[in-house]
Amino acid sequence: MAIFLPFILTLAAAILTPLSAEAQQAGKVPRIGYLSSTSLSAESSRLDGFRQALRELGHVEGENIVLEYRFAEGKFDRLPGLAAELVGLKVDVIVTTGSPATRAAQQATRTIPLVMTVVGDPIADGFITSLAKPGGNITGLTQISRELSGKRLELLKEAFPKISRVAVFVDPAVTARASGSVKQETQMAAEALGIKLQFLELGDPNPDLDGAFRRATSQRAGALVILPGPVLLLHRKRIVDLAAKSRLPAIYPHGEFVEAGGLMFYGPDFVDLYRRAAIYVDKILKGRKPADLPVEQPTKFEFIINLKAAKQIGLTIPPNLLARADKVIK
């Protein structure tokens, strides 16, 4: 037995060593960074969906994962510093909301995986090379689908057939290249519907909304379309109030506008997008590389009508349009 004892001990050590290393790795609690251009209040329902999806995948905040939140509150100059904080914490993955946050994270790290959630055109913004093969360390979801701009104008025209001029607010946080494609698609849809568009570029993180509405009404706009973006989302309550004051029917790109009293929303189901972002995080934590995970577009859409807002400005929504809404606020 003495002859075989060293061999047995050596064999045991060889077997136990990798198991110990694996156990040590398994004991590491993953850290997920969350970087947002906006605020917690603007994203609370979406975050609830994200965390719930993580739990369903076995990742429970405070138990076997840690979530590190950073919100810029619309102060985009803070984003680089917040992104650097998350990189310094050595997080395993960073979830970003919106193009400004994604850009800040991209500049802060080329190695930590990034999962973007609600960017406009990730190719135009230089985040990925293609939807099918993102390349680099960024993957995730885009909020843009080609039919959105046309569909919003169609719904406005169906609700208010007499409108012929529509003001379009362009978010200052969206790059000219990214917003250009959306504006072009909106223009093409407008021409097909016989609508003349008035694009209003709100070129400041603290936009002159009063001035924008004065310009819209002075040029006889009969309705309003808000293009997606984090700045206008932050100012949603002010925009909704000014639209009511100006008696302009409006259709919005985020459901939070309707929750704040806006008239109509048509767009992606953002809670669904955030739930799908959790699936990306799960795959990355299990070893998948962002470059190998195709970027996805929205697959679920919502149409919400706020009858309280319609009544406030003296408008009647056609019954056939109400019947098509996913949700009607009375």
Residue 26 has what pLDDT? 52
Q: State how far the Cα of 270 lies from the Cα of 29, in Å rounded to an integer.
A: 28
Average pLDDT over residues 17-33: 59
Domain assignment of residue 222, yes or no: yes
Distance CA 72, CA 79 (A): 6
pLDDT in tens, 280-304: 999 999 999 999 999 999 999 999 9
| CA nearest neighbour of 196 among 216, 221, 215 | 221
In whole angstroms, give the CA distance from residue 15 to residue 125.
50
Number of domains in the chain: 2
> Which burial class, exposed, middle or buried, applies to 225 when counting CB atoms under 10 A from its CB (0-12, 13-18, 19+)?
buried
Q: Is residue 132 domain-shared with residue 152, that is, in the same domain?
A: no
d(CA 152, CA 202) in angstroms, rounded, equals: 20
Asked if 126 and 245 sit in the same domain, the reply is: no
Q: What is the pLDDT of residue 173?
A: 80
**Is the residue at 72 inside a domain?**
yes
103 and 219, same domain (yes or no): no
* pLDDT computed for residue 171 by the predictor: 87
Q: Residue 202: its pLDDT value, please?
A: 85
Range of the domain at 320: 148-268+302-329
Task: Say which residues have a Cβ less than 8 Å from residue 233's Cβ, sequence separation at least 6.
Answer: 38, 42, 254, 256, 257
Instruction: Give the CATH number of the domain where residue 321 resides.
Output: 3.40.50.2300
The answer on 82 and 46 residing in a single domain is yes
CA distances from 32 to 106, 136, 141, 218 (A): 16, 19, 17, 48
186 lies in the same domain as 70:
no
Instruction: Tell me what pLDDT residue 146 has.
Output: 63
Residues 191, 311, single domain; the answer is yes
Alpha-carbon span 266 to 255, nearest angstrom: 8
Does the pLDDT of residue 21 top 60, yes or no?
no
Whether residue 23 lies inside any domain: the answer is: no
Give pLDDT tens digits for 160-192.
999 999 999 998 887 676 677 788 888 999 999
pLDDT digits (tens, 9 = 90+) for 190-241: 999 999 999 998 876 688 999 999 999 999 999 999 988 888 998 999 999 9
